[in-house]
């Protein structure tokens, strides 16, 4: 978990006072430290390339803010995209098509055509998709996604690599799928798998690499096809709790490189999202009310699961601090809940904090991955603003939505307007 400095009792984010950010841009607001983002990318790129030639493909479903994408483009990252919207966002941020790998599931013909038109390589998820793509363009650059029967993740909702999951071609059929791709006219460039999200055990990454290397070599020996890259997906976790340790990138990279030793693999691809962006960003939210019940005390804030759904959806832990009483001793235990008309609308449960009062500013840690990207307009509430901090200065990188934004695309038939 990232540590933050303080000035007197005020939390600093990239050297900027959290209270000043909230006063200037309002709440709720998500705040990203640009230096932390660059630092995370460089650490991961350095660890893997120290032991094997590696391309880092940022899994942009974690966060597609154009400023975040622009920073990572400057750092030399490539992209893992899962929708045409993500593809277009990355193109707009300056990524060339060859630096994007589109990996969709249940992809429509229309979306495949759009990806082909943009000349973005496609990571094919099924033999059915392969055949539909051949009818559009049988010479388009592709890779194939296999279900490796190796799954991991912080929740069953994010495990993607187990047998029976909806993702990928079963490993028992993958060599046949490569043969079918050749028959249809394709020249596949790579092999891909993804175990799930939120793992730190090096042996999991080693196991999936071992499965992929075996397939890689069988494709070479049985079909005479020399693939250009082996893609082990992402899923590297971060420490959300104060007592948790940061994953050992060097150990993960060494475990993977050990499984590649002696193989014909020339380039490794990894697809981290969470590791790169999660701990770069915090959510600042204002206390609207403090309520006591016979059972527990509540801190009621202006951000709910419409702003950050992970606690309600995954039972995920996010650390909470009082940004304007930062460093003060914890005194009382609270549940932190939002303004939505839902009993399940909470951000944190049973947290010891300094005595909280109306008007205080809470900081929710580690929201950079799947924070804004999973937010919604539930209860007809606008989505929050986003701010980037760099060299001690804050920059608005997404305007707060207003009521006009929520109503803009609605149409009322004339007969109902009379």
Q: Where in the chain is the domain with CATH 2.40.37.10?
A: 6-32+278-407
Give yes or no for a contact between 134 and 185, defined as CB atoms under 8 angstroms apart.
yes
User: Could you tell me which residues come within 8 angstroms of residue 400 by beta carbon, excluding any fewer than 6 positions away?
Assistant: 25, 26, 29, 382, 383, 384, 385
Q: Where in the chain is the domain with CATH 3.20.20.10?
A: 34-274
Q: Facing residues of 39 across strands? A: none
Active site residue 78: no
Q: Three-state secondary structure along the chain?
A: CCCCCEECCEEEECCEEHHHHHHHHCCCEEEEEHHHHHHHHHHHHHHHHCCCCEEEEEEHHHCCCHHHHHHHHHHCCEEEECCHHHHHHHHHCCCCHHHEEECCCCCCHHHHHHHHHCCCCEEECCHHHHHHHHHHCCCCCEEEEEECCCCCCCCHHHECCCCCCCCCEEHHHHHHHHHHHHHHCCCCCEEECCCECCECCHHHHHHHHHHHHHHHHHHHHHHCCCCCEEECCCCECCCCCCCCCCCCHHHHHHHHHHHHCCCCCCCEEECCCHHHHHHHEEEEEEEEEEEECCCCEEEEECCCCCCCCHHHHHCCCCCEEEHHHCCCCCCEEEEEECCCCCCCCEEEEEEEECCCCCCCEEEECCCCCCCHHHCCCHHHCCCCEEEEEECCEEEEEECCCCHHHHHCCCCCCHHHHC
Look at the pTM and tell me if it is higher than 0.85. yes
Among the four given CATH numbers 2.115.10.20, 3.40.50.300, 3.40.640.10, 3.20.20.10, the one describing domain 34-274: 3.20.20.10
Q: Which fold has domain 6-32+278-407?
A: Lyase, Ornithine Decarboxylase; Chain A, domain 1 (2.40.37)
Q: Facing residues of 284 across strands? A: 29, 363
Residue tagged active-site, from 60, 78, 90, 341:
341
- Per-residue pLDDT in tens (0 to 9) along the chain, 418 residues: 899 999 999 999 999 999 999 999 999 999 999 999 999 999 999 999 999 999 999 999 999 999 999 999 999 999 999 999 999 999 999 999 999 999 999 999 999 999 999 999 999 999 999 999 999 999 999 999 999 977 454 444 444 546 667 889 999 999 999 999 999 999 999 999 998 766 788 998 999 999 999 999 999 999 999 999 999 999 999 999 999 999 999 999 999 999 999 999 999 999 999 999 999 999 999 999 999 999 999 999 999 999 999 999 999 999 999 999 999 999 999 999 999 999 999 999 999 999 999 999 999 999 999 999 999 999 999 999 999 999 999 999 999 999 999 999 999 999 998 7
User: Could you tell me which residues come within 8 angstroms of residue 51 by beta carbon, excluding any fewer than 6 positions away?
Assistant: 253, 254, 256, 257
CB-facing half-sphere around the CA of 185: CA atoms within 13 A: 10
């Amino acid at each position: 978990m990232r540590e933050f400095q303080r000035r007197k009792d005020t939390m600093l984010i990239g050297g900027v006072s959290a209270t000043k950010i909230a006063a200037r841009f309002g709440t709720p607001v998500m705040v990203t430290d640009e230096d932390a983002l660059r630092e995370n990318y460089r650490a991961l790129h350095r660890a893997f390339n120290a032991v094997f030639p590696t391309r880092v493909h940022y899994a942009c479903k974690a966060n597609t803010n154009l400023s975040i994408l622009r920073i990572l483009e400057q750092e030399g990252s490539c992209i893992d995209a899962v929708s045409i919207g993500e593809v277009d966002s990355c193109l707009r941020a300056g990524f060339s098509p060859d630096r994007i790998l589109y990996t969709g599931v249940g992809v429509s013909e229309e979306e495949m055509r759009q990806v082909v038109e943009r000349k973005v390589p496609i990571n094919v998820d099924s033999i059915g998709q392969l055949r539909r793509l051949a009818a559009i363009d049988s010479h388009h650059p592709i890779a194939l996604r296999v279900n490796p029967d190796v799954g991991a993740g912080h929740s069953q909702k994010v495990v993607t690599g187990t047998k029976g999951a909806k993702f990928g071609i079963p490993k028992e059929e993958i060599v046949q799928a490569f043969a079918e791709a050749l028959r249809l006219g394709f020249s596949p460039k790579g092999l891909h798998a993804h175990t799930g999200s939120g793992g730190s055990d090096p042996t999991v990454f080693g196991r999936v690499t071992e499965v992929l290397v075996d397939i890689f070599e069988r494709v070479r020996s049985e079909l005479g096809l020399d693939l250009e890259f082996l893609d082990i997906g992402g899923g590297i976790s971060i420490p959300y709790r104060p007592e948790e340790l940061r994953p050992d990138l060097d150990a993960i990279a060494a475990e993977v490189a050990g499984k590649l030793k002696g193989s014909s693999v020339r380039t490794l691809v990894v697809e981290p999202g969470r590791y790169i962006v999660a701990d770069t960003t915090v959510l600042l939210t204002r206390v609207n009310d403090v309520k006591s019940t016979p059972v527990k005390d509540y801190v009621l804030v202006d951000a709910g699961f419409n702003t950050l759904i992970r606690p309600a959806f995954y039972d995920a832990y996010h650390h909470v601090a009082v940004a304007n009483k930062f460093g003060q001793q914890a005194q009382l235990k609270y549940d932190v809940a939002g303004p939505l008309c839902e009993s399940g609308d909470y951000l944190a449960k049973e947290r010891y904090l300094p005595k909280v009062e109306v008007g205080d500013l809470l900081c929710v840690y580690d929201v950079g991955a799947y924070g804004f990207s999973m937010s919604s307009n539930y209860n007809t509430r606008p989505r929050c603003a986003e701010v980037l901090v760099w060299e001690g200065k804050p920059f608005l990188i997404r305007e707060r939505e207003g009521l006009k934004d929520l109503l803009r695309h609605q149409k009322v038939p004339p007969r109902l307007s009379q």
